[in-house]
Chain A
Amino acid sequence: MPHLVLDKVTVHYDGQPAPAVERVSIDVAKGDFVVLVGRSGCGKTSLLNVAAGLVEPARGTAAIGGKPITAPGSDRAVVFQNDALFPWLTARENVAFALRLRGIPPGERARRADELLALVKLDGAGDKRIWELSGGMRQRVGLARALAAEPEFLLLDEPLGALDALTRERMQTTLLDLWTASPIGVLMVTHGIEEALVLATSIVVLAPGPGRVVRTFETGFSRRYASGEAIRTIKADPAFAAARGELTDAIFEGEAA
């Protein structure tokens, strides 16, 4: 089974005095849900962009199944924080655009796009223009568009960051349902501590200046959801509160160092 592996990756942007990320290693197997947390400036998005093939690491390697990542590829799909959708197209056309780039014949695209929209619980919104949709619905379209690529790995760059708390919670269950239903590996960046705990199978805590790993947690709450337990029950578990405290401590420890 292929792994998405970042090995001792250093990212150094042109014109910057210090690297954004230094010697970070991350391993995502298919079926994993790896979440990167940490304060702003710890290089979470840079790492995701390396995995996406949008940013080239200064040192270290990024590879899938041993094959180096040098450019964006159809084995990975990205969902961005701000909807990177095309406002001149409808929701269906946005998804169909991804299908078109994959070479799906025109006759099939609309039907496939509708299926994908239904998968993210956007049935019947296919004809809506992007600017007519709410923030949560836009992120669902973005998710459907990413899934259209039928990726092995899904890269999520704070996709729920701009959403209100209730919409965010609903999106979390959608994400978990999609992840449970398919043998997909997920690498996600978030600011939300609770969100990380709900979704992750493992959490990587990063600290800024330059971005580096301070701790890694293995968590099992999303597996419990996958085996049928309700999110509310999981969140009410004292173990959840304990994990939240520990994770928060780890993030602030990294801050102090």
Chain B
Amino acid sequence: MTVTSYTERPVAKAGAKLPKVNDEPDALSVPWSRPRPKRSRVSARVVSAITILVVLAAWALSARLQLVSPVFLPSPAAVWTKFITVARDGFVDATLAQHVAASLGRVFAALVATIIVGVPVGLAIGISTIGRGIFDPLLEFLRPIPPLAYLPLVVIWFGIGEPSKILVIAIAMLAPVALSTAAGVRGVSQERINAARSLGATRAQLVRHVILPSALPSILTGLRIALGAGWSTLVAAELVAAARGLGFMIQSAAQFLVTDVVVMGILVIAAIAFALEFIIRRIERVLVPWAGRE
């Protein structure tokens, strides 16, 4: 075959003679549903936006028509007004910003503690059979226990101070961080390890320069899940002897039936969780740009 024959390959000719061949394939020749083009008529985002608007409208309408007492369901406007007043004047002796700062402070302190403990534990599980034997059952035991169940024990052991609150959050964060780290460590390609070994890397160099960076995408995923888990134990952590914090604010409001503050607090917690997720995804993109591209 000569090179020139490539310019005249039959496929190109058939395509030219039979235009629109792919537009409307014979229904009988395609027994399964046709693959659709990526471009969809409505995007999921638009549907989500509409869903949120409908929920808000239903909420506003039921409040306006007084279908339920405002004690049970305050109107969106009332919640918004409350948001402004609490942000400016505060609620139970602290402004909204102070509540948020207290809660974020606890969650980040717990996050730091979890990284210090969880990453080495995950590494131990991932690289050594003994480490796996030790830590796997402990984590599996800890993982399914709800924070409200171990909270009393933590208080009995460590008192009602700030460390107890951070510990309650950190316990909820530990399993996701450690298990994601372990999964990342076990997922390091054998060839990459062999390459470093054949270049003369010691075991310590292997861990520091090959295994940890390779596991970094997985570790970051673990941190993202852990932040979500930690943030959702906030109310439990602030149940006992807190003077500030979003969870504490909601509980105080509930005791006085200030429902608009409760609803506002829930929305703020949700908004911050959303923001944290967004920020850590950004961090992932900066720190591990190679993830998913190898």
Q: Which residues of A are interface residues toward B (Cβ below 8 A)? A: 49, 52-54, 72-74, 76-78, 80-82, 84-88, 97-98, 101-102, 129-131, 142, 145, 148-149, 155
Contact = CB atoms under 8 A, between A and B. Distances in A.
B294 A54 contact: no
Contact of A77 (B198, B205, B209, B294): B198
A86 B213 contact: yes
A131 B197 CA distance: 22
Interface string B280-294: 000000001110011
A52 B290 contact: no
10 contacts: A52-B198, A77-B199, A78-B194, A80-B194, A86-B192, A86-B209, A88-B288, A97-B199, A129-B290, A149-B200
A49 B194 contact: yes
Contacts of B197: 54, 72
Contacts of B216: 88
Contacts of A86: 192, 209-210, 213-214
Contacts of A84: 189, 191-192, 194-196
B3 to A, nearest CB: 14
Given A86-B192, A129-B290, 20 more contacts: A54-B197, A72-B198, A72-B199, A72-B200, A73-B200, A76-B198, A78-B198, A80-B194, A80-B195, A81-B191, A82-B191, A84-B192, A84-B194, A87-B294, A101-B200, A102-B200, A129-B289, A142-B195, A148-B199, A155-B198
B201 interface: yes
B294 A74 contact: no
Contacts of B289: 129, 131
A145 B195 CA distance: 10
A130 B290 contact: yes
Interface string B197-221: 1111100010001100110100000
A127 B10 CA distance: 44
A54 B293 contact: no
B294 A131 contact: yes
A81 B192 CA distance: 11
A82 B216 CA distance: 20
A153 to B, nearest CB: 11
B191 A54 contact: no
Contacts of B200: 72-74, 101-102, 149
Nearest to A78: B198
A52 B194 CA distance: 9
Contacts of B213: 86, 88
Contacts of A88: 213, 216, 288, 290
B251 to A, nearest CB: 45
A59 B122 CA distance: 37
B2 to A, nearest CB: 16
B214 to A, nearest CB: 8
A6 B196 CA distance: 23
B157 to A, nearest CB: 41
A149 to B, nearest CB: 6
A131 B294 CA distance: 6
A24 to B, nearest CB: 20
Contacts of A101: 199-201, 205
A78 B293 CA distance: 24
